[in-house]
Structure 1
Amino acid sequence: MTYPAGEADELDARVVGLFAAINRRYARESEAAANAQDLTPLQAKALLYSAEPVPMRALAQRLHAEPSNLTPLVDRLEERGLVERRPGIEDRRVKQVAATDAGRQKIAELRAAMPFASDPLGALDREQRETLARLLALIAEVP
C-alpha cells in the first residue's frame, strides 16, 4: 500500500514514537527493579540470564558485551552470593554462570517488579508475535 507523502511521514513518526515509548517503558521498569535490588541494570540482566547455567561466552553475547568485560560483573554477583561459576558439563574448561538459591530468589523478586519488561509481548498471541517478528526482521534486514 502506498501512502501520500504527508501521511507516510506521520505514520512513520507514530511507529517510531511507539518503538521509543516501548523502549522507555521497558528501561524504566527494569532499571527501577534493578535499583530496588541494589543491582545495576546490567547486573540484573546477567542475573536473569543466569537462572539456568549459561556459558560465560553465551552470557556475554546475550548482554552484547565483550567476554573480558563480563568477568568483573560476574565477580560482583558472585561476591554477593547470587551466582556461582561452574565447570561446563561437556567441556570443563568452559565456565558456566549459574544462579544460586539466593540468586533465584532475587530473580523472582526482579520478575515480580517488572511485569512489562518480563513479558513485553504478553498482549500478543502467537500469530501476532510471529507477524511482528517477520515485520521487524524486514526493518532490521535480518533473515
Structure 2
Amino acid sequence: MSQPSDPLTLEVVDLMARLVSVFHKEYDEAAAARSLTGAQAKVLALLRRGPLPMRRIAQTMSCEPSNITGIVDRLEARGLVTREADPQDRRVKLVAVTEAGRTASEELRESLDFAREPLAALGEEERALLRDLLRRMLDGVRA
C-alpha cells in the first residue's frame, strides 16, 4: 500500500515526529531523575502488564536479547524486577516487576508533564477523539 504524500499528510508526519522527540527527551529525563536509563524505564513500563519472557521484551523493544539481559540484571540488582520460571515451560525465564519496580514506573509515568499541558487545551470529547484515532492508527501495528 503506497503512502500518501500530500501536504497535509506530510505536516501530520512532521508533527508526530516532533511529538515523539519531545516525549523521548522528557521520558529520558524522568528516568534519569530516578537513576534509570530510558531502556530500563521502558522495560518496567512493559512489565506493568504482567511478566514477559526476555525474548519478548527484546522483540518489543527491537533490540538483541543480550541487551535485555544486561538491562534486567541491573533492574534485578536494584530489586525492581525478578526472574521466575515460566509455569508453561520451565526452561523459559519470565521477568516480573516487583512492587518497588511498579512504584518507580508509576511515579515516572505520573511525572511526565509534556502531554498534560497540550492535552489540557483539548476538551474531553477532543481527547477521546484523539485517543480513538491513535488506536485506529495503531490497530494491527506490532509493538
Fold match, TM over 0.5?
yes
Deviation per CA, 1:93-140, whole angstroms, max 9, x where unpaired?
A: 11011111211111121111125579xx99642x65454455577xx9
CA distance in 2, matches of 1:85, 1:135: 34
Structure 1 residue runs of 4 or more that deviate by more than 4 Å after TM superposition: 115-118, 127-137
- With over 3 angstroms needed to count, the CA separation of the structure-2 counterparts of 1:99 and 1:130, relative to structure 1, is same
% identity of equivalent residues = 44
Secondary structure at the counterpart of residue 65 of structure 1: coil
Please tell me the residue identity of whatever aligns with 1:38.
S
Q: Which residue of 1 aligns with 2:29?
A: 32
Q: Which residue of 1 aligns with 2:71?
A: 73
C-alpha RMSD of matched pairs (Å)? 2.9
Q: Which residue of 2 aligns with 1:89?
A: 87
Secondary structure at the counterpart of residue 96 of structure 2: strand
- 2:12 is matched with which residue: 15, 18, 38? 15
Deviation per CA, 1:60-97, whole angstroms, max 9, x where unpaired?
A: 11111121221111101111111110101211111011
- With over 3 angstroms needed to count, the CA separation of the structure-2 counterparts of 1:104 and 1:133, relative to structure 1, is closer
Instruction: Compute the displacement of 1:31 (Å).
Output: 0.9
Please tell me the residue identity of whatever aligns with 1:91.
D
Q: Which runs of 5+ in 2 are unaligned?
A: none
TM-score by length of 1: 0.74
CA distance in 2, matches of 1:14, 1:29: 23
Q: Which residue of 2 aligns with 1:49?
A: 46
- 2:57 is matched with which residue: 52, 56, 59? 59
Q: Which runs of 5+ in 1 are unaligned?
A: none
CA distance in 2, matches of 1:73, 1:117: 27
Secondary structure at the counterpart of residue 81 of structure 1: coil
Aligned length: 129
Query: Which of 1 and 2 has greater Rg?
Result: 1
Q: Is the 8 A contact 1:86 1:98 kept in 2?
A: yes
CA distance in 2, matches of 1:70, 1:106: 19
